[in-house]
Amino acid sequence: MQNEILAAAQKNERNVVQFLRDLIAIKSLSSQEEEVVTRIKREMEAAGYDEVTIDPMGNILGRIGSGKHVIALDAHVDTVDVGNPANWTVDPFKGAEKDGVIYGRGACDMKGALASIVYGGKIIKDLGLVDDYTLYVVGSVQEEDCDGLCWQYIINEDKLRPEIVVIAEPTNLGIYRGHRGRMEIQVHTKGISCHGSAPERGVNAVYKMAPIIQDIEKLNERLKGEPFLGKGTVTISEIRSTSPSLCAVADSSSIHLDRRLAATDTLTSAVQEIQELPSVRQAQAEVVVLDYAVPSWKGLTYPTKKYYPTWLLPENHPALENGVSAFKKLFREKPVVNRWQFSTNGVAVMGMHGIPCIGFGPGNEIYAHMATEQIAIEQLVKAMAWYAIFPLIYTGSSKLH
């Protein structure tokens, strides 16, 4: 059976490449995904999916089968923006193909994976691989702005709770079992404004912030973790201040913290670490975990805290073993088992809801968000085959024999 699946994936190479190029050509920033979702819907319907739905948030869910075991493959459909166009040597929206590689915004993160999971489903339909499982191929929205929000909605409101979710973010065809979480925190100091010609009459909020900045830099050096996911980190990504004019003392100052969470970190512990810094206490500064409340492309707002929990699947978990087995069966070699450096929708699926996740996707994460974003066609094809065989491995299907 594995030879038939590999042959079917190879046969669909040009189809998946054209589909990916179509997806790259559609700009789809967070909350602006309508056109790309519509394009995905057409491809799923043409591939013979049993049902294709777009939920009230704007996520697209393609269903294959109606068996007992519920499995989901997830790829977000939004991308970050292009940034400085001068940094690109190709048109980011053309999906240029050269020497077996596709270039463009979203090629790696993660329209390439989206194309492969859709075509993994097509192989399942074409070869009659449906068994005692229900497969959902999910194109999720708003991930780049708020990872996991889409799956909070899918689980809580769509009432879809799979047994296992495969996160198709780029893994370079490795099998991934977790990553650090993250938080977005702000620290605010208050001052008293006065004329800039006599600053001694006021209290400068920026000066109150200065020792806090130094303490946060030192805190980053003290943070700990465990060997696999690594240590927690904290960095300041933005600083702002307000004053009546540029000829006045600043009456407020704020810094934005990107806090990456180790396996032992929690929302409470991460906030307390900031609150207990001597400089924060001295300045009576306010520490706030930010909220996300931005409408989706369908106009639905689904508020959440900007707290994205760490998740780590045990190395002996059956789902991980199934993922490794699928790779071995197809490619006759052992895959790399690793973890992501960045964050994914797994923060909601497993981090918040405890649903087992594994990661498997085409593309190398080093190209994510870069002006050199690219993906190898060979990886698209191999990923397609893996997505087609994984449900059979997971359910122990007799169709493999």
Tell me the pLDDT of the chain averaged across its residues.
97
The answer to whether the 2-179+310-400 and 181-292 domains have the same CATH topology is: no
Contact 334, 174 (CB under 8 A): no
* Percentage of the chain modeled with pLDDT above 90: 98
The tokens of 340 are what? 């992501």
Contact 13, 83 (CB under 8 A): no
Task: Indicate the pLDDT class of residue 260, thresholds 50, 70 and 90.
Answer: very high
Paired with 256 in beta bridges are 186, 238
Give the span between the Cα atoms of 334 and 324, in whole angstroms: 7
| Mean pLDDT across 239-254 | 98
Contact 71, 57 (CB under 8 A): no
Query: Which of 74, 131, 143, 184 is labelled catalytic?
Result: 143
Residue 397 pLDDT exceeds 90 = no
Query: Which of 74, 78, 184, 373 is labelled catalytic?
Result: 78
H or E stretch covering 146: none
- Per-residue model confidence as pLDDT tens digits over 204-215: 999 999 999 999
Question: What residues have CB less than 8 Å from 380, skipping those under 6 apart?
Answer: 13, 16, 17, 20, 102, 112, 115, 116, 362
Residue 1 pLDDT exceeds 90 = no
Q: What is the number of other CB atoms lying within 10 angstroms of the CB of residue 124?
A: 28
Question: What residues have CB less than 8 Å from 341, skipping those under 6 apart?
Answer: 179, 365
Q: Where in the chain are the domains?
A: 2-179+310-400, 181-292
Assigned CATH class of 181-292: alpha beta
Give the span between the Cα atoms of 78 and 26, in whole angstroms: 10
- To the query of whether residue 143 is one of the catalytic residues in this protein, the response is yes
The tokens of 301 are what? 């707002």
- To the query of whether residue 184 is one of the catalytic residues in this protein, the response is no
Contact 106, 373 (CB under 8 A): yes
Give the span between the Cα atoms of 157 and 52, in whole angstroms: 17
State the fold for domain 2-179+310-400: Aminopeptidase (3.40.630)
Q: What is the number of other CB atoms lying within 10 angstroms of the CB of residue 230?
A: 16
Residue 339 pLDDT exceeds 90 = yes
| Mean pLDDT across 240-254 | 97
Contact 16, 115 (CB under 8 A): yes
Whole-prediction pTM: 0.93
Of 401, 400, 394, 300, which is closest to residue 67 (Cα–Cα)? 394
- Per-residue model confidence as pLDDT tens digits over 365-388: 999 999 999 999 999 999 999 999
* pLDDT given for residue 256 in this prediction: 98
The tokens of 379 are what? 């990886």
Give the span between the Cα atoms of 107 and 168, in whole angstroms: 13
Contact 100, 377 (CB under 8 A): yes
Q: Mapped to the 3 state alphabet, what secondary structure does 154-185 carry?
A: HHHCCCCCCCEEEECCCCCCCEECEECEEEEE
The amino acid occupying position 385 is A
The tokens of 114 are what? 């989206």
